[in-house]
Structure 1
């Protein structure tokens, strides 16, 4: 029984119901922005406070570890609040202790604890460990190698046929990928063996084939109906034209023929196959002379051609063979399907054995081992499951739409009762189910959504949370309008009806703000690609938002100007990130993209991987030549050609090098250069045989100063982090059961193949004022005042539909039929059916991605699309409609989000008379469907930079691109000539870096021996300072320099608060740095917290906290002339530096520089003497900081050197 809701309570009726409903399984369909997490936490609290349940008797399942931590933190905070409100309540006090034992975690974490407690049931070693990603990938590859080797040795005819059918002339890689996909599909089922065994059943048993035949016929009917619709439109145009005696009966005959085809319950494929289009009568000459009639005739012809195209497609693709022929092909394919299943079972068995030998488990094992514990041999819940049923009063599952069949069965084993009297509470939104690639199964949610009714029914209880507290009404209504006309159970997998809509609930000021849909008309003659032109439009949109828009603060009920951090750019992937980075940099817009993609394409990583590949095997021409041409060895193209010319017929370039070394025609200088290169490779090869890979990488870094070099390039911080990332992956690799350079390279190849990148660390926090770019997947659960949704013309990924083997969790495996006589592949009945099903599922998930993108916006939503020709837009405007929606076939055949969105919104913006009648405008009663949409077609030339602007930004990269393209204009040619013929007027300074850090200059002035470590010309040719040794840990203990860097990172983000920080608050702050990936979890113990607390309790911290303005990590770049009256040979360098903290106190600027130096206090030395010594050590550096800041501010400044081991020293 749900308690009566008090009038003063702020919960909506649906939220109140969600908090208190019980006695049945409950499914809460929580739309975007509906307060799902808040409701879930409140339900848990009320179960504790009202029902007297202990928190450790609830099982709360979340989708991620971060969500679990946040959930536990929220619950704990509410418990503490309850203790304050009722301090005498012992039950509540008990929860404060029990929250730490509460089972609030991901399902994987629950399964792991289950295995640890009941390992005896599994007969496994309790000292097992979880396999690293590296180890798991390599081990699976190794197992597949062994399985293939076994099957090759057996020479089975079906295996040979499969290698010929699925493999290629060069290798069997495609067949290997099929087996790997089958493995992942099978283990996403509760019983992988059973799923695999059932794959060949429809190829053998006739009665099982009817399902696929019916599915195929359904799509055939869709095409024929669409063809009929186009033909009717053509006929209507003929009637408008009139007086076309030959055309009217010709088209009418086709109309009657299609009606005959559609009159039967199942379309006759042979009749369709033999369909004769005949020949369309010639257009009368007099119509061509009349402009109006001619236009109507061309419209008729367009509709008639559409009819022919649709019917031709269905004839050729779906009706080329009759049912009997399709059935007989399946019988022929059955043994091969069975063999694929058997090979996959061999992989499962061998992989399991290999993991057992190494005593490791992976996440798949967690789930399947949990099932073995929770179910007995007969498939009934075990005693252990019964124990958990008694233990947990309620099971609460967050993000239920993202579960799979295995997870569903685990939950089913420990829940009580059935749906009508169960204790399972599920919350989620199937419209936000976007993880199909992780084997998420939204049909589980949909099944319950359709089955569950109100509490007086025998099924479970469904509650719809539809009120959105995030977004403005205009955002919601436009989203509703789009999905009302686009999503249904046919294409979208759920009806977007009144229950599924978003309803306005946020207390925004009433302002009429439309959804902005900007369509870029590409400039065909531009050198920029369409994506690059789109990046300029996005940048222009950002600038417009900053200039014109305000953000409504719900708390203060006031407006404030929009800032960079209010804006997010959402796209399907990071493929356009590089274009945006370049354009935003040119326009001085701070921009951040946390992309892990493209990592392996970065110059520094490509160089290192080439190095490692050549060390492992020099008979790889691309990597060998690439390494020789690199900045390390700098062979010229002429030198490479000389080497090859000596022996042009060698199979490998490495052989040509060997022959050149022995040739009498060889140049001595080139011989010396090659000796150096070959000696390096040989030395590294020997080193790799006795050292771990990470030590080899470290040695290459240090031998060739690669960290220093790449740190000095544009984006140096990211490049350095990328190199660190490669080293860290090598460390992880060596901690697995695999060793050696060959296996490491194989692991990297697997990462590249899977699209699994790892890149630089996230150095941006939520409060940093930058425009962010995110994928739609990574934005889920977040919200932003302004959302720019771009990249809409990127086509949906349909690559898997073109494979010789196609898979579906529910439909099984589709294998193409190979006609050996004709040497041609045909799609089989099952492969055609599964392809159509998979296409529908892909489009449905892409629709859900659109929904997630649109519902991130709080204030305003901007859609960015592009098209080359306006005629194409006109075709989208005329997309056919049926029953108030785009036709199923239109949606089914959509190529990208732009086609779907524009086809709907353009009809609202510019409805034709016919569309207005068929595409119903929302009624006055449907307030949630009243959209506010503004569509603009923008010429690219209006937003692209002018030639003058581009000339100012002409870079060497741009010049090189234009040289390679050829056809430069005169202005560009003059610019190239001016740069190439330029004579440097300050030859005496040619060995000095033009941009030097203050620390570098300090070293240069302090000693005349600046060349002691390595060649000075090389150092300054690289144009960078000497950096500290990178944070590579050959041993566990960090160096003093590494700890110094770590402490600086902590201080960089340390909050300055007038009330200071307690130790607990400092610890929480450090935990936040770990969560934000600013520091690694392994670095926590090396943070000198006592030193940080000493600073927090100092007078200096208090002065900074109470100051008027605070600037952290303030960079400066100034001319050396501005800092000192004399420079070397009167040649001024550019001095760059970074001041840790600058604060403004009563109009006066002060700077602080942190130092982590350790020092030895000699006997008899006073603190003043120590201070004087330390100040002298940094005198030159501090002079430059002081002068630079005075130059920038035009004021006298003072500063502090703060030593964590000594205290603050004043710099006058």
Structure 2
């Protein structure tokens, strides 16, 4: 096994010995690899995997870690022929590599008798535990009601409402909160006894400091406004006095007597006659902000606040005691019901294991069992988990890895401050402890990393995020180049109501993003392949109620989507082929007929179909189409030609097996080749290939074309799709919609962070009962005698503390979302009155301003709008920029798909075409010099040079395998050829495999075998040898290339035309690519020069496409003549 190349910091994490180590590993820094490599390194030095405890936070992570360690040990054993390492690889399956809960279960089961639980105790399912909790709560309430418990009845009167449901929920919430702490419910009892006022006053001091900073900021802005607009000297003197007052208050803040110092301070009114009006208004707004901050500080700094808090503290302690006694009774009832069923829940296991390990002898025995203790995702631990693992660790044997910036599970009672406190303890040169910071990012391209840093350097601080985003935390891009971030905003229409429904806003944004997704499909990724749907992930803070909207809208654009609720899989590349089968079976279906006519199989455009419809009587389109064939114009001739083709297919259906019919239809319509050159052709071709294989399997089970079509319709009706789409690599080829939490640990080439304008969820801050790990418990005040409730100052302080923690968590969630992207990050939101929004957020916000904002979008815009590059909101992705280099666009809301927009552009088509129908129909065969098309295929260029591309000719007397058809068949085989083959026999074996997979028919297989000799000559050529040695071989590479029209040789215009084509074979040699295009022409020495000139333009365009897609040069270009067995190099 080749040694993993490590950075200096990674190497330090792997090789440091004899210390407790905390690795602060930023997103994409390779922490899992480093953890596994350290374990393997220790084993190589003589350690035993069976004497290690490796704790993860999910069963999947534990399984992946086990597999990774085992794989690396086996590789090292094979490389070094070391039997001990091979044995250790076997022991990996027995090692304690597990979640913390699994470890706790092990401790409990090994000591069940000591804990007083049966040896056969099991962990109950969440459903089972939930039922038992409900029954235990009923037991507890029944007992309390029967005893007429005064404390309980007081709780009921204060918190129950009309039913007991709310009170039960509060007790369950308290119980869950306490279960995450080593003290269990005793934490609540301590809260009932402790003096929490000092901690509350610290929260208030923090808020007052924020207010004073904002006061100073506002007064500085007043001074700048006065100077820039040359306001009267008297006003400027007032401004300076106000600023001086603000600064003096900040200086006095930490000294004794601050309350007395600030009392009486005020900001005077502005002078009369200030002009112009906008300057006057701006000055008034700044002064109003200052007065608000000053007034709130005066109130909260008052000595009266302490007195109120002390009075309320007695009330809160009384309520905590009452809740403690009710929760204790519930806990006893719950424990009894679990004991009767011989089960424990996960919280019991953790608390039980911790209780057992309070015995020093038992704790020492477990600590002696493990030479090393590893903890992954350390930022997600809670207090009880930290306490448990501390009891089984020894000094110098603990290795913890995590990233506080990715701590996003506070709702599961994870405490990021555990990581932060540990980092501060380990800082410095203290022996026996060490912090190693790994902030190299190997995941994201530099453009993405730069955007993350630009945003987080402005937003994340100790005040918000609980850590300063400084040089120690800043990401370092380790990939050499590439990457882009863009901000894509949807401008809600001006007529939208102020209280526009969230669903309406989401729909508008979804339309914007659907169009952006279609733009992205086919664009080159870093590995040279075109982007597919499966490369894109749409992340949201919450998908509830939103993923369905996005799935539906994306479906309207033909974008396959996978959401938490299911899949939306619209696939036109599949639908058209199925519709062809329907038309062959029965041409009376309007939808199926229109679909096939509009496709390349029919070749009709909208104008032609509208003319057919307009000429007919009222009724079905199918009837109009059949009637139009009776006319004598060119369009009628085209209609007859189409029906002759369908009739020929019907004759084939009568004489062939279903499977052979399907293969014939695919090959004769060149269906796979056609969809491959469409936008997103790689993904579509992969989807169709998988679908076709499944279709052949279905056909083998059906008796007729009618039964197959009926079966397909039923599949679509029941599941919304004929099959699940796949990428070329076999992954499901859908755009994924995930919540940010679900994306943790994942990465995607393209990430779209949507719904950024959604407001933060503050609902928990309005709960009747608030809990805080350090402050205790708070509720509203209820006078029991007169039954009046009033807000408690204590609860307001709790809300301030919890909101700050909530905002810190939201910021870390934003960081996680942004760091999921490998190559492109798109930040999306919807704005109303964008000029007002930009003006509000572009002034250079500070941490105390960020604390007041309520959405991801506000944060990001406030962070980046001050950069000069953000001034122009028409900047397209890919445009160069200054400073932050973030592309950005503001687009109008438009909920119409392209089809709907075109439909709305066309007024009264029927009446116009009825008029046009009076004129003779003139088919369009060639491009006018003044009318350059938007797109052309490479085949058009070849037609210009006198070669007709292979097309389906009318049925009639012709050889079964013409030269063109034989060339097409050999070409098809070359698409699937495995270059490891070297002989004619090996080539024939591959032909038989293609036949077995129904890629070719048995007859085609027989014809191909007769050509195996010439294919074997190719396989034995020097070129085949070069292909085998290549590290990267690409086949059937579709492309769309924008070039000046004159480069095609068809036009003289300089307008841009999109050329589409498919490159047969491309392989890397060194840093460059070698390009090969297969040709079926007969070749000899006389016509080589003619052919070279004929295909020169085509291969020049191929070369240009390759260089644009991959960023690498094409060193050599060859034509390979399949039937002439000759290579021709073009220069």
**Fold shared per TM-score above 0.5:** yes
Q: Deviations over 1:202-256 (max 9, x none)?
A: 4xx4xx4222112212202312331332133124323444454775566566556
CA distance in 1, matches of 2:212, 2:807: 21
The structure 2 residue matched to 1:550, chosen from 510, 514, 524, is 524
Tell me the equivalent position of 1:411. Answer: 389
- Is residue 238 of structure 1 aligned with residue 226 of structure 2? yes
- Is residue 562 of structure 1 aligned with residue 531 of structure 2? yes
Tell me the equivalent position of 1:784. Answer: 748
Q: Deviations over 1:500-558 (max 9, x none)?
A: 1111112x4x34x54111111112446981110000111111111115x21112xxxxx
Tell me the equivalent position of 2:792. Answer: 828
CA spacing shift, 1:175–1:909, aligned 2, 3 Å: farther
Identify unmatched segments of 5+ residues in structure 2: 569-709, 872-881, 909-975, 981-985, 1007-1131
CA distance in 2, matches of 1:565, 1:720: 18
- Is residue 940 of structure 1 aligned with residue 889 of structure 2? no
- Is residue 13 of structure 1 aligned with residue 8 of structure 2? yes
Q: Deviations over 1:968-1017 (max 9, x none)?
A: xx99xxxxxxxxxxxxxxxxxxxxxxxxxxxxxxxxxxxxxxxxxxxxxx
CA distance in 2, matches of 1:201, 1:395: 36
Deviation at 1:366, TM superposition (A): 1.4
Deviation at 1:79, TM superposition (A): 2.2
CA spacing shift, 1:307–1:878, aligned 2, 3 Å: farther
CA spacing shift, 1:30–1:819, aligned 2, 3 Å: same
CA spacing shift, 1:119–1:158, aligned 2, 3 Å: closer
Deviation at 1:403, TM superposition (A): 1.1
| Structural RMSD (CA) | 4.1
Q: Deviations over 1:817-839 (max 9, x none)?
A: 23679976444354233222211
- Is residue 97 of structure 1 aligned with residue 99 of structure 2? no
Tell me the equivalent position of 1:224. Answer: 212
- Is residue 132 of structure 1 aligned with residue 131 of structure 2? no
Q: Deviations over 1:470-489 (max 9, x none)?
A: 11111111111211111111
CA distance in 2, matches of 1:880, 1:848: 21
563-572 or 365-374: bigger deviation? 365-374
Tell me the equivalent position of 1:1129. Answer: none
Tell me the equivalent position of 1:40. Answer: 35
Q: Deviations over 1:660-707 (max 9, x none)?
A: xxxxxxxxxxxxxxxxxxxxxxxxxxxxxxxxxxxxxxxxxxxxxxxx
CA spacing shift, 1:240–1:497, aligned 2, 3 Å: closer
Tell me the equivalent position of 2:874. Answer: none
Matches within 5 A, 1:1161-1200: none
Tell me the equivalent position of 1:752. Answer: none
CA distance in 1, matches of 2:992, 2:384: 53
770-779 or 314-323: bigger deviation? 314-323
Deviation at 1:904, TM superposition (A): 0.4
CA distance in 2, matches of 1:399, 1:831: 33
Query: CA contact under 8 A between 1:330 and 1:829: conserved in structure 2?
Result: no
Query: CA contact under 8 A between 1:395 and 1:423: conserved in structure 2?
Result: yes
Tell me the equivalent position of 1:472. Answer: 445
CA spacing shift, 1:846–1:324, aligned 2, 3 Å: same
Q: Deviations over 1:384-410 (max 9, x none)?
A: x32222221111111111111111122
CA spacing shift, 1:260–1:166, aligned 2, 3 Å: farther
- Is residue 847 of structure 1 aligned with residue 816 of structure 2? no
Query: CA contact under 8 A between 2:562 and 2:737: conserved in structure 1?
Result: yes
Deviation at 1:460, TM superposition (A): 1.0
819-828 or 366-375: bigger deviation? 819-828
Query: CA contact under 8 A between 1:1058 and 1:1106: conserved in structure 2?
Result: no
CA distance in 1, matches of 2:285, 2:717: 52
Tell me the equivalent position of 2:366. Answer: 388
Query: CA contact under 8 A between 2:532 and 2:727: conserved in structure 1?
Result: no
| Secondary structure at the counterpart of residue 902 of structure 1 | helix
Q: May I ask how many residue pairs the two structures share in their alignment?
A: 776
Identify unmatched segments of 5+ residues in structure 1: 1-5, 288-292, 554-558, 599-707, 722-759, 913-928, 954-969, 972-1055, 1061-1098, 1111-1140, 1151-1212
Matches within 5 A, 1:1041-1056: none
CA distance in 2, matches of 1:718, 1:115: 48
Matches within 5 A, 1:341-740: 341-376=324-359, 381-383=360-362, 385-417=363-395, 422-453=396-427, 456-506=429-479, 508=480, 510-511=481-482, 513-525=483-495, 529-547=504-522, 549-553=523-527, 559-575=528-544, 576-595=546-565, 716-717=718-719
CA distance in 2, matches of 1:35, 1:350: 47
Deviation at 1:906, TM superposition (A): 0.9
Query: CA contact under 8 A between 1:516 and 1:861: conserved in structure 2?
Result: yes
54-63 or 816-825: bigger deviation? 816-825
Q: Deviations over 1:908-957 (max 9, x none)?
A: 24689xxxxxxxxxxxxxxxx9632122222224x74479449799xxxx
The structure 1 residue matched to 2:737, chosen from 764, 767, 773, is 773
Q: Deviations over 1:798-846 (max 9, x none)?
A: 1111122111223221222236799764443542332222111111111
Matches within 5 A, 1:991-1002: none
Query: CA contact under 8 A between 1:30 and 1:429: conserved in structure 2?
Result: yes
CA distance in 2, matches of 1:90, 1:139: 51
CA distance in 1, matches of 2:88, 2:887: 53
CA distance in 2, matches of 1:199, 1:874: 46
Query: CA contact under 8 A between 2:23 and 2:436: conserved in structure 1?
Result: yes
Deviation at 1:719, TM superposition (A): 12
CA spacing shift, 1:405–1:242, aligned 2, 3 Å: same
362-371 or 115-124: bigger deviation? 115-124
CA spacing shift, 1:267–1:582, aligned 2, 3 Å: farther
The structure 1 residue matched to 2:758, chosen from 794, 813, 826, is 794
CA spacing shift, 1:259–1:470, aligned 2, 3 Å: closer
Structure of greater Rg: 2
CA spacing shift, 1:763–1:357, aligned 2, 3 Å: farther
Tell me the equivalent position of 2:152. Answer: 159
CA spacing shift, 1:216–1:574, aligned 2, 3 Å: same
| Secondary structure at the counterpart of residue 907 of structure 1 | coil
| Secondary structure at the counterpart of residue 787 of structure 1 | strand
Deviation at 1:156, TM superposition (A): 4.3
Query: CA contact under 8 A between 1:909 and 1:934: conserved in structure 2?
Result: no
Query: CA contact under 8 A between 2:109 and 2:121: conserved in structure 1?
Result: no
Tell me the equivalent position of 1:197. Answer: 189
| Secondary structure at the counterpart of residue 198 of structure 1 | helix
CA distance in 2, matches of 1:1147, 1:832: 82
CA distance in 2, matches of 1:907, 1:316: 34
Tell me the equivalent position of 1:676. Answer: none
CA distance in 1, matches of 2:79, 2:23: 30
Matches within 5 A, 1:142-181: 142-168=135-161, 170-181=162-173
Name the TM-score, length of structure 1 as normaliser. 0.59
| Secondary structure at the counterpart of residue 1143 of structure 1 | coil
Tell me the equivalent position of 1:860. Answer: 824
CA spacing shift, 1:841–1:267, aligned 2, 3 Å: farther
CA distance in 1, matches of 2:341, 2:979: 53
Query: CA contact under 8 A between 2:560 and 2:567: conserved in structure 1?
Result: no
Tell me the equivalent position of 1:114. Answer: 107
| Secondary structure at the counterpart of residue 45 of structure 1 | helix
CA spacing shift, 1:863–1:122, aligned 2, 3 Å: same
CA spacing shift, 1:1105–1:129, aligned 2, 3 Å: farther
Q: Deviations over 1:580-600 (max 9, x none)?
A: 1111111001111134899xx
CA distance in 2, matches of 1:404, 1:596: 33
- Is residue 892 of structure 1 aligned with residue 851 of structure 2? yes
Tell me the equivalent position of 1:1009. Answer: none
Matches within 5 A, 1:1058-1073: none
Name the TM-score, length of structure 2 as normaliser. 0.63
Query: CA contact under 8 A between 1:230 and 1:303: conserved in structure 2?
Result: yes
CA spacing shift, 1:1148–1:845, aligned 2, 3 Å: farther
CA distance in 1, matches of 2:715, 2:260: 67
